[in-house]
Structure 1
Amino acid sequence: MALNKSLDVVQSEENLTPLSPRMMNTLRKNNNVFSFIRSQAEEEIDILTENLRSMELGQDKFELNDSDEISFEEGEIQEHLDPICLHDPGLQELITLLVDWIHGQLTLDRVQLNNIETDYRDGQVLRLIYEKVMGNDPIDLPCGDFVQSRERQKRNLFFIVDKINSCMKNIDDQLQSKTKLIFAGEILNTLRFLIKINNYCFRNDRPSVILPRALKVNILKIKRVEKRLQHEKRVVNILGNHFQPGARDAFDTLIENAPPQKVTMVKNVLKKFVNSYLTPIGFEVETLEEFQDGARFCALIGCLQKFFIPFYAYIQKPETFEERLKNVEFAITLLEDGGFAKPVNRAAEIARGDIKSILRIIYGLFVKYKTD
């Protein structure tokens, strides 16, 4: 990527990436816009490559929050923050930004926020955020204010989290589990909820704070199966995925700017993953670009989702662009039927062999199915 092109992106108001105060100070001090773009892009690449590496090599020892409130139901999936991340200056800055934002909006209510693990568990601060920050009519908590009983605090919390979630029109089938973890003082779920509220406020012209685009953290994803806990360690962007069609992301930077050995590592890990499913059925690939035929995507999705796709449903050996496009469109339909969000790339980009578009889909499948 050329320097002049990068500077044009930053200087354009339509494409301006929101910066946190720390990032702004770094820019002023270094007077180097390009270095900031690289740091943001490199952060996203690090998240991608570290996630691949950690899942490929296996799991490290990981300690959970020792709260008495954490318990697991059969089949329940929980995500916990690696405690070592609490020493990361970037995460500390994120917490400070969010706390200062809430403090600033609730000054007249004399709210004191001292501990992110406990400040939100009784629902009172979240109710004020719902009313004063998000701009909704006042509501009463079901068990009243200033309750001391843990069960009443939990009932209040579940009530207001559901209210906020409904206001944001956010559909989340794990909301009950995540709310339980907020009550338990699990920081990851509390931060993610506050970030969603801030993003909602930003989109709806309510008071909000500008957050960085990417911040990597280690998480432990845990599922209880037959009275045993299965787990996997991942590297994620706690700020979420804000990719928009036409915007650059980690895959753009990976292919265009990353060192060749890093690109090779990503491709090799993903190729090993897909071939573990495709080789037994005779669809092994030498390069990931072969997925442009769409047929291998159909076969891979069928293997991963454990259902048989009739051979007549797609063209096994497409010879024209139109036939490849038809296969890719069918594969995208299979993805959506399996619960995946609609890919941001157009089917035609995949059918033309665009490696960035292919990598995005395969990486999403890798993250979801690697440890199943």
Structure 2
Amino acid sequence: MSYQKSPARREPEKSEGFFSLTLGRKKKQRDSVNALDIEARDAIDGGTVTQEIDPSSFHLEEGEERSMIDQKSREAKDVVDLERVLMEWIDDVLVEQRIIVKNIQEDLFDGQVLQKLLEKLGDVKLQVPEVTQTAQGQKDKLRAVLDKVSQQLQIQSWNETKWSVDSIHSKNLIAILHLLVALAAHYKAPIRLPEDVHIKVVVVKKVGGKLEHRMVEEQITSTMDQMTGGKFERDAFDTLFDHAPDKLNIVKRSLIEFANRHLDKLNLAVTDLDTQFADGVYLVLLMGMLEGYFVPLHSFNLTPESFDHKVHNVKFAFELMTDAGLPTPKARPEDVANCDLKSTLRVLYNLFTKYKKN
């Protein structure tokens, strides 16, 4: 994150981390407890299990419970996609302040980015110190931010929600995701969150002097309608995919014929709508043909070699559409670049609607 960080942000020494201990290796209880203290943010309430954990490694008091995110679940595509979409949304909201979130846990735990995000989204101003140098100062800022979130979202008490000052400050991934999803839904963020995202959590508890462990699933997102209270605007393509998939090929053929009618002048042809628009090249060239101008080759990547190049091309095509008087596409450039068919169809259909008589 390109933002001045508080001096309090320091990583513990990895050599003393609890999860770096070799399985089965005997350690004194005192050493294990110290290690747990050092790595508390990773081992308690939402940390990540980085390897298979032997329950005998835990030293818990009777009735005490600890939970950790299952590593495979943490690396699941829908979880990774959710983090990416939320981070890119924050970057877009705070672009004028040149804030870039690189790690959703490390960059949001101290309240600085959350403060800026809430002030921008809610058009409010929080009376808190700009930079906090102590853990207590960070928690005080977080408390002020979460109090304002409760007011904005009309929540009776954020203590009753799935996040808290302590959970956010301890870099609890699940709590941070719950908070961001709630903000995105309330402020009608122009993004499409992955639906039905679940994270598996390993829970270890001491009962009757013995350790018991179980796997539970934490639901982070549901459907867009449920998350937004039905406020998310569905369109014809949602209906098409949900209720009339048999007609999908008809729509695709019509859009392919439309695109080829214009791209043929450049001796180009679309045969696979699902993938050929993903790098943005055909979109840029198509806009030039539709509007009757030559697009300078230095303005985009004619032979994109990376995902960033593809996203740049799609964004540039979107700018050309806006300049032509078209509404800003609802689709995200990243989704088009990821070969999301529904997003590609939305973009092409907007062009078809305006230029079909050309």
Give TM class, smaller chain: 0.3 to 0.5
Q: Kindly name which structure, 1 or 2, has the bigger radius of gyration based on alpha carbons.
A: 2
* Higher relative contact order (CA closer than 8 Å, sequence separation 6+): 1
